[in-house]
Structure 1
Amino acid sequence: MNLHDFYYDLPQELIAQDPLSDRSSSRLMVLDKKTGEIQHKIFKDVIDYLNPGDCLVINDTKVIPARLIGEKVGTGAAIEVLLLTRKQDLKDTWEVLVKPGKKAKIGTQISFGGGKLIGEIVDIVEEGNRMIQFTYDGIFEEILDELGQMPLPPYITHRLEDKNRYQTVYAKHEGSAAAPTAGLHFTKELLERIQEKGIEIARVTLHVGLGTFRPVKTENILEHHMHSEFYTVTQEAADKINTARKNGGKIIAVGTTSTRTLESVGTEDGTVKAGSGWTQIFIYPGYQFKVIDSLITNFHLPESTLVMLVSALAGREHVLAAYEEAVNEKYRFFSFGDAMLIK
């Protein structure tokens, strides 16, 4: 399978720059994965496709304000740091992206907020990422909340007025460098209506790293290397999912991150096991899904691993035809864009 097999032409003006004021008023394209049939709806209509006994699986990770602007100690040169992954075994140490990288040699110190936070480059790791160790007085999360900015994707050029709009209404566990954007369409009211209809909601956690969005640089997609992301599936979530499946309900994943979590912990018979760990799962056409039946997702970048994942579920031809129709119908694309339900 070649990279170009997952290309589609997207006019720049269809990339959504700002979130809608009402989360659930986005458009919703409903795609039948068996027939390729398409319906055009509004996101809040998603409830009509969920039935009592089904289980909706959401990713409750919380985006941290991971973008820090600092200056190199000694020269005052501007340096931008993007926090990717906190190292569990090393105190106050993170894997980060640094711009410009050439100024970030081992031993370089960077000051943030006039010295409230000092970072020292302690290692250079794969693909040019750095390890940085922080020193500070107080509580790291509070300092980060004060000094950090939301790490919006590079295709969003507008300033985000409200930090919470790049956060799901159910975000709970801090640790993501990017939002699980399919979940941005849900309001608390819509989730309550879904539960009142008899649909279980199971929470899983996958901390989204930028590896999810890293461009595929190999023409043969099988040579692409996925970065690890940390997940947690509680026993409560596993029980809800397994009970729904046992009773004939469907498992509907909200987003590619929930999908990757479930498919990482699912056994061959579709049973989900509780646990936590790191996943590098790469889902592309030919993959046999073990756990999920349906997927709520946004419209993804051409030639991305996310387009490959949705193509694995609905078929490449169906997905590319749906994307072509979305372009023709002027849907809004990417993180703040419209949604698709693959049923």
Structure 2
Amino acid sequence: MLFYLGLSALFVILATLAFLLLGEPSYLAATHLVFSLAVLPLVFAAIAHFVPVLTRSAGAPQGIWLAPLLLQGAGFLVFLHFFGVANTSALNLAAVISLLLALAFAGWLMVRARRCLGKPHPGWRWYLASLAFLVTGLALVLVMHYWPAERQAFRLLHLHLNTLGFIGLTAIGTLQVLLPTVLSGPDTDAAARLRLDLPLAVAGVLLVGLGAAFCLPLSLVGAGFLFYITCRPGLSWLSRYGLPAIIADGASAGLAASLCGFLLLLAFGVAHALGLLEGRNAIPAFMAAFLLPLVSGALSQLLPVWRYPGRRTPVRDRAREVLVKRGAMRALLFICGGVLLAFGHNEGLWLAAGGLLLFLNDLIASFCFPVPK
């Protein structure tokens, strides 16, 4: 299941980039295709994978693994709506399905945390907060339908709660567990940092979202909060592992690049708030500079584990070795592509597509044509 969701997310993102390069569909349809059909199911799967680790409990039950599949179905309805094929009823149905699944997921998460022997890792609270933002963002889809006069404000709030709140908080919480695992060196400050930074992270997302929708100065304060909590793990990694070690491993290079991409996008968001950049470029830049290095870096580490579960084996090690080999190069392409897109240059799509094709080439080489040793 996890392996399938990882692969399907990659192919949806690649197909979306190809469509955009060909001029179809619109950015709005493409954005919802990536977020609802690729990213949302994959994030749910990642949460289901990490929660048992954070709560020192058994693996997720079969019912939990149905959620990403149902989300893919709902995501397809969302895409059809924004592509102009399905009506608003299909969009509302997809929002309700996704909202109920998010609530069920949050309930399962809280049960696991409550039953944990001892204190669970504070990373689980970041997942809970991200799901709360997702639920709110999905509820706003229905609110926009019944309160069209405030549609623009609620649309902006929906956008920021989903991107910075759901995806952003999930990513920042996961990165602080995953990157030390990649580099085989525990970050002893991560748990305390996650515990202390969560209130600031939640406040930052709320301020950015409410500021973008209703009161611009609030968004600038919120961006400052998010910039602070994003810098903290990055500086800790530089101090603990050093830049050469982070770049040398393709998985950690991608994960670290995604953190840098998030910081860049916060800066671009501030520039947009001040009228220096166009807001319509923010979402494709978010996809290229943040999502793509995040997904490719995480999957470089996780796909071999998902494909060959259980004890570590030479086959799994060789698959990972191939996947991480060009990780730093891919990360550079993604970041450069995101910067170009943020400034309105569509050539950035080619760089993002090139980085993704490199990853898919390595993926095929690692699993379809493994090199014997």
When the two structures are superposed, what TM-score results if normalisation uses the length of structure 1? Answer: 0.28
| Higher percent of residues as strand | 1
Kindly name which structure, 1 or 2, has the bigger radius of gyration based on alpha carbons: 1
When the two structures are superposed, what TM-score results if normalisation uses the length of structure 2? Answer: 0.26
